[in-house]
Every structure is written in structure tokens, then in C-alpha cells.
Chains A and B, each alone.
Chain A
Amino acid sequence: MHLHRYEKIWLMLGAGGLALFIVLLCVNAFAMGMAPPSNMEMIDPEKVTETPPFDKPGLKQVGDNEYDAYMTAFAFGFAPTKMEIPVGATVNFHVTSPDVIHGFQIPETNINFMVLPGHISSATHTFDKPGEYLILCNEYCGAGHQVMATTIIVK
């Protein structure tokens, strides 16, 4: 099989760039701890409302300016409906669904993950700027999907 000289150069540059890129992704994920949200915890979707801490969704202070937010995503809303935190707070979101699949996205942050019934999804964000952040569902979940949203107020 004959490879043209230019094609060899072209493919070598491509392969080299690709290898470098993959190495960077690995460093980023494993050495710098920025792997995508991949929590392995499970829960019975038919018993979400009876299972602590999801029986009482809400914020729990766990550190100086750090909170655990236990939330449920359901057709068609999020619980709790109101959350307020001080500027600079770090929030660990833990979300699950008692019914179908939902999405959990906070635009203008990197919080964006799927919420699957049977699983608990987690991700962490530090809110450095004040404002009323929109939390929305970005996976189709039924007729009211477009109204499925809430906010988190950072003061």
C-alpha cells in the first residue's frame, strides 16, 4: 500500500496532535480531578420520597461556606423550590428522580448532568458571583418539560 509523502506528514501531524490531546484529557480528568460527574450511588426510584435525605429535600450546611443540596427532579419540577446561599459558597448537588429521566443544568456554570431513576447524581460548584441562577431540566421528560425549572439565589 503506497502512502504519498505529504499524506504521511499530514497523518503524522494529525496522529501526534491527537495523542497529545488525549494525554491532556487524561491529565485533566485524573490528575487534576476534573472527571465528568460519575457518582455510583443507587436508590430505589419508587421509594425516593421515603428515603432520607431525599424525603426532606433541601440545603444542609456541611462546612464553613459549604452546603450539600439534596434535590429531587420530577415531572415537572425540582424540590426544594427555593434555595438561598451566600456568595462564595460551595454547593455539592445530589439529585435523583422518582419517575423518568431528567436533566440538571445551571447555565453559566459547568453544572450539567443527567438524573436517572435508580441513581444519585452529584456535582460540585462554587458560586463566586451573586445572582439568581436558573436551574433547568435539559432532558425531555414529558408534556411539561419546558416549565421544569427553579432558581438558586446567591447573595
Chain B
Amino acid sequence: MVIARKIDDTLPHVPVQRSAATLSLAYVWVAYIAFGLAAVAGMVQGMVRGGIMELPSWTNYYQILTAHGVLMALIFTTYFIVGFIFSGVARTTGGSLHGAALKFGWAGWILMTLGTLMAVVTILMNEASVLYTFYAPLKASPYFYIGSALLVVGSWLAGFGVFASYRKWKRENKGKTSPLFLYMGVTTYILWITATIPVAVEVLFQLIPWSLGLVPTINVMLSRTLFWFFGHPLVYFWLLPAYMAWYVCLPRIIGGHIFSDSLSRLAFICLLLFSIPVGFHHQLMEPGISPAWKMIHVTLTLIVVIPSLMTAFSMFAIFETTGRKKGGVGLFGWFKKLPWTDVRFFAPFVGMLFFIPGGAGGIINASNQINAVVHNTIWVTGHFHITVGAAVALTFFGVTFWLIPALTGRQLTKTANRMGMVQTVFWAVGMFLMSLAMHTMGLQGAPRRTDYTTYMDHPLALGWMDYQRVMAFGGGLLFVSAILLILILLYLTFYAPKGNTEYPIAETETTQEVPKILERWPVWIGLVAFLIILAYGYPILQQIQHQAPGSPPFVTW
């Protein structure tokens, strides 16, 4: 059940109270500042790889690539997600955040921002060109690692804020099922906190002491395992908030209802369970992990196919039932009834389309030996640009178009909507071209994370150049789209006319019984712990007991 506030449409109003709205906006705007800077870096990368431009001597390709990876994958996503979830939690629990949640929210923002600044400064000083995966024994400045640790801890505080809101709601609504958005927000943070514990351990107990010179060497294998323990659920941390928008906000935008409250919750629980114990699928091509353990992780990885199919079914079921109710007839008549000119629908919908090849590519990547064909080629980069860079990012853009005016008490005007449509088309075409080129060239062996090179004019590498240029062209379109987006968001924050913008939260059509078990968190957290011990207990023990001789630090850039 969702509590909607009574809305008086004659007065301008904010669907969430000013204090919560400001907190949310503070997060969302840091996200888009990081996004804007990272978009410049991304465009430059494409141009450099395509041989269209050369970098000046005061910078280098890998410094720029580190900035792009960190700002896009870690800063843009995390800030946006934290801000979005806070706003939605406020919206679905009566319109405001209480004192504890606000305090946690701001404390988190301060820690995260401090951490971000530390990391960014070390990158700018070229003391941390280790890419966003910071694989040891490449050694960045200790401040880079300390900054990352602050970022993680800050995000935990934000999570505690959401847990506090959840507790308060539960106390005040004894025996009732929590609002779906709130439930999903809580699940997302349980996933995030569980996933970031191992990387925090890596950073605090391995990287920081080693980079400070307190210990001479590092266990490289263990550091990689801890990193990928985090690295895969990281992608689900990006995805779950996009799913929240799909499950809860999108039905309302198209004038429909939530398909099934319980199944939505069940899908989130499945994603929580099966996104964590799977990190070895990023380490399939490495020595030191046995084929049997790799296969166990591959199997657990592929189980996410089930909640993904559930999501696909729900989405199209919502689209079809809503389209039919609006008078769509025949097999596909309902399709035409969807609000194609409403950017709040159009952007996430285009994102969903990208998710179809994205999911198929994911199955290929996870498939044990087929991974040898694509591992560390630029195919992989193509893959995550259509999943996170298109499906998730377009959903976030679609959300931002209504979120910002809803929080600032302004209107998403017709013009802004139209500009948003143009921006979406540019992004989609740009991503399509860039990722198609990346996928194709990757299959032919072109490596990712690599500056312009022809490998001494090897004919094979020369053959990739045409694709590199297509990739650069796609990157150019993406850059134009990014600028347009920032302009629209500035307009919506500061200049759009005052007025009412809906914060779309859908409800179920009829009251639905939700099984109590879905909110018994100890059961699910226990299962998560069980799966983690099953998948990681023995391998991590082995990596500590039978570790390879350690590695001293290297600075090779």
C-alpha cells in the first residue's frame, strides 16, 4: 500500500518537504557535475583512440581514463542513487524525512564529497593513474585510497538514514506492508553495504598500509578477489534503482498500475541473493582459482536470468494492460497508445531496449570458456556502455527530468520535455554507434584500456582503425547529448517557471496481499551470508593459507 498525500493543485507545492528535497538535490547535482566532467573525458578517449586527436604533454590517456571510470562508474552513479532513494523514501512515507534520516543523509554527503575531492585531486596530480579498479601492485597515492574509503563509508551513512526511515515507518504502521519504493530502497542498501564490506577490507587492511609503506608487499590474488566480490554487485547497485523507477514510477507515468506488488519484491530479493556470490566470473581467465570454483560462480551468476525475465514480463504486462485500457486493440494496438512524446517514459523505455542486447551479452561474458574470446577486449567496454551507460543512465536521465522540477517546485515545461527527447535520441544513437563499434572490434581482439596504438603497424591492428573512428564519432554524439542534458537540468533547477510537477508513484490496481516472509530481513540477510560463505569461504581461506609470494608496490605511469 502506498500513502499518497492529498494534493491541492491550485497552489505550487513540492511533493517532498523542502528539507528532504534539498538533501536529495545536493546529491543529484554532485552526480551531474561528475557526469559532465566524465563526459568530456569520455569524448577525449574516443578521439584519442580513433587517432583524431593527440593529448598535450601535461596529461596522458590513462589519467583521463581513470577520471572517466571513477567519475562515471563510482561518483555519478552513487550520488544519483543516494539522492533518488532519499527523495522517494520521503515521498512514500508522508512527504518528509525525519531528523535522524536527514542527519545521516548530510553526514554521508559530507564524507562522500570529502572522499571524492581527495580522489579527484590525486588523479589530477597524476598520482593515481590506476584506473577505477586500482589493481595492486599498481600503487596510487594513499590519499586516493583514503578518499575511496570515505566515499564508501559516507554511502553507508546514507543507507543508515534510509534504514532509520524504514524503522520509523514500521513503528508507526504496525503490521502493515511497507511502501514498495521504501522496501526496494532498503533492499538496495542491504545489497550495497554487503557488497562494499570486502572492498573496504581491501582498501583499509591491504592497500592503505601497503601504500604508506607500513607493509612491504601485498597479496595480489586476495586483493583482486575482494575487489570483484564488490565489483559485480556494484553493477546491481546501479541496476536496482533503475528497476525501482521501472517498477514503481513508470506505471504511474503511463497512467497504469503496479503489476504485482509481491512479485516486484520477490524480484528484488532474488537480485539481492544472486548478485553477490559471483565475483569469479570477472576472474575466469586468471591463474590461481580452480575451474570448479569458477564454475560455481558462473552458475550462481546465471541465476539472475530469472529475476531479469520476471522484470521483462512485468514491464511489458504493464505496457500492454495500460495500452489496452486506453483503447489499443489487436495484437499490437496497445503499443501505439503509450506516451511516446513524454520524455519521462521515452528515455527509460529506450534504456530498456538497450538492456535486451545487454543481457544477452552478459550471458556470453559469464560463459566460462567463451569469455576467452572477449575478456579484456573492448567488447566488454561496449557491453557496459549499453547496460550501465545506456539502460541505467537513460533511466536516470528520465527520472531526473521530473525529479528536479518536483523537488524545486518548478514545471517540466513542453520545451524542456522536447529538448529531453532530442537529448535522449542523441544519447541513444551515440551509444548505439559507439558500443556497436566496440563490440565488433572487441571480437576481432582489440584490447580495452589502451591508448592509441597500431602495434608497429600490424595489419590486424590497422584493420581496427575504422571501428575506432566510428567509436569516436559515437562518443562525439554522446558528448553533445551530455552538454544538452546539463543545460536542461540547469534550466529545470534555476529557471523553469514555478509550478507543480508530479512525483510519480504508482499503486496496485486492487489491494494485494503481500506475504509476510518478504519483510523478514533476518531470513534474507542470513541467506545472503550463507551464499557468500558457500561461494567465497573456502577460496578466500585458500588464498590466505596458500598465498603466492607478495608483491612490492609499482608506479609505472
* A residues at B contact (CB < 8 Å): 1-4, 6-7, 10-11, 14-15, 18, 21-22, 25-26, 28-30, 34-46, 75-76, 99-101, 103, 105, 107-108, 110-114, 116-122, 132, 134, 136-147, 149, 151
- In the complex, which of the residues B220, B286, B369 contacts A121, with contact meaning CB atoms closer than 8 Å? B286
Whether B302 and A38, one on each chain, are in contact in the complex, defined by CB atoms closer than 8 angstroms, is no
Report if A18-B287 is in contact (Cβ < 8 Å); known contacts: A11-B310, A100-B137: no
Residue from the list B131, B287, B375 in contact with A40, Cβ < 8 A:
B287
User: 8 Å CB contacts to A: which residues of B259-292?
Assistant: 260, 262-263, 266, 283-291
Contact of A146 among B131, B289, B375, B451 (CB under 8 A): B451
Residues of B in contact with A, size category: 35 or more
**For chain B residues 445-466, which have a beta carbon within 8 Å of chain A?**
445-453, 455-456, 458, 460-461
**Interface set, chain B 301-317, CB cutoff 8 A to A:** 302-303, 305-306, 309-310, 313, 317
CA distance A30 to B298 in the complex (A): 14
B299 CB–A CB distance under 8 Å: yes
Q: Are B287 and A141 in contact (CB under 8 A)?
A: no
CB-CB under 8 A for A28 and B368, given A11-B309, A118-B549, A119-B221: yes
| Contact between chains at A112 and B450 (CB < 8 Å) | no
Check A3–B449 contact: CB distance below 8 A: no
Query: Is B19's beta carbon under 8 Å from chain A?
Result: no
- 12 additional contacts (CB under 8 A) given A35-B295, A114-B286, A145-B450: A7-B317, A21-B367, A25-B298, A29-B291, A38-B291, A100-B135, A101-B135, A112-B376, A116-B548, A119-B286, A136-B455, A139-B449
Interface residues of B in 540-557 (CB under 8 A from A): 547-552, 554, 556-557
Could you say which of B62, B372, B515, B548 contacts A140, with CB atoms under 8 Å apart? B62
A39 to chain B, nearest CB (A): 5
Q: Please indicate the chain B residues that have their CB under 8 angstroms from the CB of A122 in the complex.
A: 287
**Complex CA–CA separation, A20 to B355 (angstroms):** 23
Q: Which of B284, B306, B369, B377 sits near A14, CB closer than 8 Å?
A: B306
Contact A138:B377 (CB < 8 A) given known A38-B294, A120-B287: yes
B548 touches A119 (CB 8 A): yes
CB within 8 Å for A3 and B263 given contacts A42-B549, A107-B460: yes
- CB-contact partner of A118 in B220, B260, B313, B455, under 8 A: B220
List the 7 closest A-B pairs by CB distance, nearest first: A107-B445, A142-B556, A118-B548, A35-B291, A138-B447, A146-B453, A138-B376
In contact, A37 and B313 (Cβ under 8 angstroms): no
Render B64-81 as a binary contact track against A, CB cut-off 8 A, 1 for contact. 010000000000000000
**B284 and A36 form a contact (CB under 8 A):** yes
- Distance in angstroms between the alpha carbons of A105 and B453 in the assembled complex: 16
Chain B interface residues toward A at CB < 8 A: 60-62, 65, 131, 135, 137-138, 220-221, 224, 260, 262-263, 266, 283-291, 294-295, 298-299, 302-303, 305-306, 309-310, 313, 317, 363, 367-369, 371-373, 375-377, 444-453, 455-456, 458, 460-461, 515, 547-552, 554, 556-557
Tell me the minimal C-beta distance from A12 to chain B in angstroms. Answer: 10
| A18-B302 contact given A103-B447, A136-B455, A140-B62, CB 8 Å threshold | yes
A117 close to B290 (CB less than 8 A): no
A45 CA to B375 CA, complexed, in Å: 24
State which of B138, B306, B310, B375 has its C-beta within 8 Å of the C-beta of A142: B138
User: What are some 30 contacts across the A-B interface (CB < 8 A)?
Assistant: A2-B262, A7-B313, A11-B310, A21-B363, A21-B367, A22-B298, A36-B291, A37-B287, A37-B372, A44-B549, A45-B548, A45-B549, A45-B551, A76-B556, A112-B373, A113-B287, A114-B287, A119-B221, A119-B548, A120-B287, A121-B287, A134-B445, A134-B461, A140-B449, A140-B450, A142-B62, A143-B62, A145-B449, A146-B450, A149-B455
Closest to A122 in B: B287
